[in-house]
Amino acid sequence: MLFLRTDAKLGVYIWSDFVYNRVIFIVLSIHERNSRAGRTARDGGRNMTRTNAREIAVHLTFELSFTNQTADELLDTALTRATFALIGEEEPLYAEYPNAKQREYISELVRGVYFHCPELDDYISRYAIGWTFSRIPRIAVAVMRVAMYEILYMQDVPNAAAINEALEIAKGYETPEVVSFINGILGSFVRKESIPERVSAFQAEDIFDAEPATAEDAEAPQA
């Protein structure tokens, strides 16, 4: 399996048995890497949170922009133990393989964005005042697609939580100006589309794998 990495700020992963380039990790400055390391240290061995799973979904949504694969084809290659083991060597977010419930959550987000992409992109274009869609950084687009899908279609996620989580993820990849831009688009989207706020006990950092790992999780093959 061929594995190629370029410079410190732009990571490009080319796997000979995949038909796409893995370009998940872009614009990772030293400051951003330190920020991620600090988050990992704070979590201190905790299980994967919904926040972590959402960020992985953003990575995969971003990746869909660079491949002709369907969401299911991408998920089949991305949500494997081998993928997590390889990426986890450099990226703490992938250090733990998600259990069945977590994989289901990631898959729902990625499939949802894939099937509703024209609708989501129309909303982004509508509220990106003064910007053409092609000018918006693709990782910012991925963050907003995931947040908008959650707001529109996931009833257990309050609007404010979806926006706040999107901004926290964006801070790891984009400049403060782009983060503010994302905040403005998502805020306008919720207000002007009159999307009602939902009341939920959801907590972004709650561990959402309270049930023990299944036998499938424990015994799944390493590929």
CATH number for position 81 = 1.10.940.10
28 occurs within a structural domain: no
The type of residue at 48 is M
155 domain residue, yes or no: yes
Tokens of 135: 């000018």
Asked if the model's pLDDT at residue 161 lies above 80, the reply is yes
Helix (H), strand (E) at residue 192: helix 176-192
Task: Give residue 142's domain range.
Answer: 47-192
Instruction: Please tell me the pTM assigned to this model.
Output: 0.73
Spatial CA neighbour of 146 closest among 125, 159, 162: 162
Answer yes or no: is 17 within a domain: no
Which residues lie closer than 8 Å to 4 by C-beta, 6 or more apart? 12, 13, 14
Identify the pLDDT of residue 199: 53
Higher pLDDT, 21 or 73: 73
**Is 130 domain-assigned?**
yes
Cα 56 off chain centre by: 4
Average pLDDT, the chain: 76
Tally the domains of the chain. Answer: 1
Q: Which two tokens stand for residue 56?
A: 């992985």
Q: Is residue 116 part of a domain?
A: yes
Cα distance between residue 64 and residue 70, in whole Å:
8
| Residue pointed to by tokens 């450099």 | 90
In a domain, 51, yes or no: yes
Quote the pLDDT of residue 28: 38
**Residue 22 in domain:** no
Do residues 161 and 169 touch, judged by C-beta distance below 8 A? Answer: no
- Residue 109 covered by a domain: yes
Is 59 strand, coil or helix? helix
